[in-house]
Amino acid sequence: MSELVVGLEVPSRGSRLRAACGDFIRRRPLGAIGAAVILLMFAAALTAPLISPYDPVQVHFAAMLAPPSAEHWLGTDSFGRDVLSRLIYGSQTALIVGFGASLLGATIGALIGVASAYFGGRIDLLLQRFMDVLLSFPLIILALALVAILGNSIPNLIVAIMIPMVPRCALVIRSSALSIREMPYVDAARAAGFTHSRIILRHMLPNVMATYLVMLTAFLGQAILLEASLSFLGLGVQEPLPAWGLMLRGAAVEFAETAPWMAIFPGVAISLAVFAFNLFGDSLRDALDPRLRTQ
Amino acid sequence: MSAVVAKAAEAPETNPAQKLLEVRDLVMHFRVGHGLFGPPGLVRAVDGVSFSLARGETLGLVGESGCGKTTTGRCVLQLENPTAGEVIFEGRNLVGMEQAQLRKLRNRIQVIFQDPYSSLNPRMTVGQIIAEPIAVHGLERDPSAREERVRGLLVRVGLLPQHAHRYPHELSGGQRQRVGVARALAMQPSLIICDEPVSALDVSIQAQIINLLDELQADFGLSYLFVAHDLAVVRHISDRIAVMYLGKIVELASRRDLYEAPAHPYTRALLSAVPIPDPAMEATRERQVLTGEVPSPLNPPSGCVFHPRCPLAIERCKREAPQLRAVGSAHQAACHLV
């Protein structure tokens, strides 16, 4: 009976989380760098009014197209607006749209994927064919069409970016849910007389969490890129709202040679954000995959 | 009593209150290979199985892998939808019953699975796993009383109340199987399907779990349908034993009759394969080794499904499938030669 008594001291959730974070930083330095950039972005978005040197929409005709200097660290644009301040405020737009779209897309996709795997048969077939139809449209074309139909407010932009993500997530989650479906604990839940929704939400969904998180981080980078692309094409965020893609649009065409800072810095911000989310997502996937976990 | 089962139509059960479960002509066929390539096939996993189970009784279900014993258990649990046949539990036929109605009855038939590692949800604590069905079935609506009940169940199956806060991966195999038993008990069932509940455990732990199941049966008046391939374990726990071969019951007898006077040649071969833990006796032991493999349930042999491997087979066995018939007072076998 001694097997029953050993090791009853339960480590607290907090200390376990701290240990896991320390482990992540040591084993996956690239992922940690990604996480650091993401945190920096969050900090910038949250404290934007405090840390921006200028009002991002304030026009200064006296300081139009000023190169980077002590006064305007990253220069000004063709309306004399401070590029740094617009970059900082632009991180808000990027994060709102990025998180909104990828959270919604991954969650709806995960629900469809798990339900599809759980019910199987005809429901599975119907849902999967519908996902295939959505999947057959290229990401940007579908988002473009949706924005054109819905109009370009931020909530519409989120919906437009979210919809192409749903089938991608549903496919991946379905395949992991299919193996969960065959687990005896799901049979036990059915034998206990639980409802379908309880089995899906309480017994299957938590067990595809790792896949879900990886999809979510992968989508975050894509969503930010997609938002920038749509804004660049004039279908996303509208002036004078600060957004990175929009800053590029204004800058790249006319001022690429005369005022390159206008295009370079928002471009760097977009690349850095997408790169950071991808690095973090890859490392998270590896860290959550028990087969890749070295003991 | 078991003689009644075969002739259920002519001689109805005299005391139906005693009979908890009755399975009649259960058939479970699975369609396979209906893709682009190859002709579609039909796996006859369970092919006309009938038996009954009284309150407080244990029926052992033995046979080689793939003989359909687990599928039979799953059909009784209504985890599979049988192709044909009836599963009459407490007087009601579960096959084809409406989902909502079946859901309410589900707590009366519970299950203990073979693999204690995959039968517990890794994302839930032991306490949550045991409390969930109690809450869902409204067996105890007050949360603190429910917690008390969970602690009581944990103690009853030989764990500590503190184990309620642990996750399954923090427990050993034997401890997890005890959690599985506690989860089944939590729903206050009258029948528990034990699907090889000890074959994934160490021998020393096996004995503990078997003894626990024995005690619980005495305390709560449970009935067990005990699916296993280990003949020693089945002999210890069962009142009656059904031997399955290729989706059919070939022999059904009381424990004593089956082990001391096996009638069917397959049962005799199975029993003769059990080694005797005494080298001198083992050396002189008479063994009857079956030749060949179990045929595929995709394409079962004609007549008696056992005839290609049977040492006694005669011409009639190839043509005519034997029916299960009485060979003693509580002893049935499906063989032309007994």
The CATH code of the domain that includes A126 is: 1.10.3720.10
Q: What is the mean pLDDT of the segment spanning B10-19?
A: 52
Probe site for chain A from B121, B154, B165, B194 (most A CB atoms < 10 A): B121
Instruction: Choose among A4, A191, A194: nearest Cβ to B175.
Output: A4
Average the pLDDT over each of A290-294, B172-176, B195-199 and give the range with the smallest value. A290-294
Whether B110 is covered by a domain: the verdict is yes
CA angle B113, B115, B120 (to 5 degrees): 75
Look at A193 and B104 and tell me if their CB atoms are within 8 Å: yes
Decide if B338 is inside a domain. Answer: no
From first CA to last CA, the distance across chain B in angstroms is 20
* Chain A residues with CB-CB distance to B115 below 8 A: 184
Supply the pLDDT for residue A147. Answer: 86
Q: DSSP code of A1?
A: -
- The neighbour count for residue B42, using CB atoms within 10 Å, is 15
Determine, yes or no, domain membership for A295: no
Q: Which domain range does residue B285 map to?
A: 2-333
**Residue of chain A whose alpha carbon sits nearest to that of B113:** A184
What residue of A is the nearest CA neighbor of B101?
Answer: A193
Q: Is A295 on the interface with B (CB under 8 A)?
A: no
Going by C-alpha positions, the residue among A196, A215, A206 that lies closest to residue A118 is: A196
Q: CB–CB of A186/A199 below 8 Å?
A: yes
B326 vs B333: CA distance, rounded Å: 7
Torsion angle of alpha carbons B320, B326, B331, B337, nearest 10°? -40
A200-257 pLDDT, tens digit per residue, is 999 999 999 888 988 898 899 899 998 888 888 888 888 788 888 888 887 666 777 7
Report the C-alpha gap between B120 and B201 in whole angstroms: 15
Query: ipTM of this model?
Result: 0.87
* pLDDT for position B36: 65
- Whether residues A3 and B104 touch (CB distance < 8 A) is answered with no
Rg value, chain A, Cα: 23
pLDDT at B244: 95
CB contact under 8 Å between B166 and A4, yes or no, is no
Paired tokens of A270: 């977009």
Q: How far is CA A263 from the centre of its chain?
A: 23
With respect to residue B325, please indicate whether it lies within any of the assigned structural domains.
yes
Is the pLDDT at B119 greater than 60, yes or no? yes
- Residue B31 is assigned to a structural domain of this protein: yes
Cβ separation B106–A188 shorter than 8 A? no
**Structural domain contains residue B316:** yes
CA distance A206 to B115: 21
Look up the CATH number of the domain holding residue B157: 3.40.50.300
Contact B214, B158 (CB under 8 A): no
Among the listed residues B215, B62, B53, B200, the one whose alpha carbon sits nearest the alpha carbon of residue B120: B200
The parent domain of residue A123 ranges over 42-48+72-288
d(CA A75, CA B184) in angstroms, rounded, equals 70
B197 assigned to some structural domain: yes
Cis status, amide bond into A240, omega within 30 of 0: yes
Tally of domains within chain A: 1
Three-state DSSP class for residue A223: helix
Which residues of chain A lie closer than 8 angstroms to B98, CB-CB? none
Nearest Cα neighbor of A173 from A123, A227, A128 is A128
Tell whether A53 is covered by a domain. Answer: no
Q: What confidence tier does A4 reach under pLDDT thresholds 50, 70, 90?
A: very low
Residue-by-residue DSSP string for B248-312: EEEEEEEHHHHHHS--SHHHHHHHHTSPPS-HHHHHH----PPPS-PPPTTSPPSSSTTGGG-TT
| Residue A183 token pair | 């687990």
Bridge partners of residue B244, in order along the sequence: B249
d(CA A211, CA A109): 12
Kindly state whether residue A88 falls inside one of the protein's structural domains. yes
Closest CA to B247 of B99, B126, B71, B102: B71
Q: How many residues does chain A have?
A: 295
For B101-115, write each residue's pLDDT tens digit. Answer: 999 999 999 999 999
The per-residue pLDDT for range B46-94, each reduced to its tens digit, is 999 999 999 999 999 999 888 999 999 999 999 999 999 999 999 999 9
Give the residue carrying structure tokens 């429910």: B146
What is the interface size between A and B, counted as CB pairs within 8 Å?
78
